[in-house]
Amino acid sequence: MSNPGALKAKIAERGLIRAIAAHSPLSALLAEEAGFDAIWASGFELSALYGLADMSLVTMTQHLDMLRAMAGRVSLPIIADIDTGFGNAINVIHAVREYERAGAAAVVIEDKTFPKVTSLVAGGRQDLVRIEEFEGKIEAAVASRTDPGFLVIARTEALIAGLGEEEALARAAAYEAAGADMILIHSKRQTPEEIESFVRAWRGNAPLVLVPTSYPDLDEKRIRALGRIAVVIYGNHGLRAAVTAMRDAFRRIIADGSAESVSKNIASVEDIFGLQDMDAEKASERRFLK
């Protein structure tokens, strides 16, 4: 079970931690098995799981239910991607209380208008709220948590919206002053120079969070060399890998008229039983069913 303080403790211990997006207990278990430090409870991935666009269509209840299910199956700290906070500052108060109770170690709130549009889509609407309004959301989030180890991460989309580095730095500084524990800075450039420039120009005390989806050549060696970065989030790679693998398997079964060739190249049923803790359940049956 994830708990407040777990993420903060890992950052203090390791300096830079690696989080991977997950959208289900199964994907969270695989992330833990692989050796990641934390889970990113991704709104984008959960939206895709439902076959919906990442445009605030998935409800807080749906996202909370999935986060709670993941927290019940893995020990990794979970960073909850709560988009714009599901409304205004009053909605943020409710959200923070619920996500902390559900087992999250942190929430990330972004400074877009509600409903948001996913950041990396071409031609997407990327409208930001006023700085003062978002300061209120961060203040509300900080005031609503019960454990100071529960982290409030402010995400600025100023670079995504094309407003430039100066605006991004001003927003990040305002959000830190409002109480944010960390700043997530996002970019849709295909190369990392825009992000690297922001990191070098950042004069605040809050550590930074990066999501190098569109600029994957920014590796962890370069990230460590930049300094000031506490978390790197691999934002949607599990989902994309799963889509590739399922699409290939499904097409091969149709083409072959059989699952024979596919069965040789996919996880065994026994492997899935292991992820389901089937041996433990069988042991419980032997012990308790009378």
Q: What is the pLDDT of residues 151-175, one digit of tens each?
A: 999 999 999 999 999 999 999 999 9
User: How far is it, in rounded angstroms, from Cα 78 to Cα 75?
Assistant: 9
Mean pLDDT of 247-276: 96
DSSP 167: H
Closest to 30 (Cα-Cα) out of 280, 245, 262: 245
**What sign does the dihedral 126-130-134-135 (CA atoms) show?**
positive
User: How far is it, in rounded angstroms, from Cα 127 to Cα 141?
Assistant: 21
Mean pLDDT of 250-261: 96
In the chain, what are the domain boundaries?
A: 6-238, 243-288
Q: HSE, CB side, 13 Å, CA atoms: give it for residue 194.
A: 22
**With contact defined as beta carbons under 8 Å apart, do 231 and 21 qualify?**
no
User: How far is it, in rounded angstroms, from Cα 63 to Cα 229?
Assistant: 27
User: How far is it, in rounded angstroms, from Cα 66 to Cα 199?
Assistant: 33
The proportion of the chain whose per-residue pLDDT surpasses 70, expressed as a percent, equals 99
Answer yes or no: is pLDDT of 1 > 80.
no
Mean pLDDT of 267-290: 96
Answer yes or no: is pLDDT of 121 > 90.
no
Arithmetic mean of pLDDT over the chain: 95
**With contact defined as beta carbons under 8 Å apart, do 37 and 43 qualify?**
no
DSSP 170: H
| E strand or H helix that includes residue 208 | strand 208-210
Which amino acid is residue 239, in one-letter code?
L
Mean pLDDT of 191-216: 97
Mean pLDDT of 1-13: 82
Structure tokens at 186: 């996002």
Residues with catalytic roles: 54
Answer yes or no: is pLDDT of 280 > 70.
yes
Closest to 149 (Cα-Cα) out of 195, 107, 95: 107
Domain 6-238 adopts which CATH fold? TIM Barrel (3.20.20)
Encode pLDDT of 19-44 as tens digits: 999 999 999 999 999 999 999 999 99
List Cβ neighbours of 163 (8 Å cut-off, separation of 6 or more): 128
Distance of CA 164 to the CA centre of its chain: 24
Q: What's the pLDDT at 119?
A: 84
User: According to the 3-state scheme, what is the secondary structure of 216-263?
Assistant: CCCCHHHHHHHCCEEEEEECCHHHHHHHHHHHHHHHHHHHHCCCHHHH
Which amino acid is residue 245, in one-letter code?
A
DSSP 185: E
Per DSSP, the three-state class of 209 is strand
Per DSSP, the three-state class of 56 is coil
Q: HSE, CB side, 13 Å, CA atoms: give it for residue 4.
A: 16
Residue 5's Cβ-count burial label (10 Å; 0-12, 13-18, 19+) is: middle
Beta-carbon count within 10 A of 173 CB? 16
Ranges 2-6, 106-110, 138-142, 222-226: which has the least confidence:
2-6
Q: What's the pLDDT at 4?
A: 75
The model's confidence at residue 2, banded by pLDDT at 50, 70 and 90, is low
- Angle (CA) 102 107 113, round 5°: 120
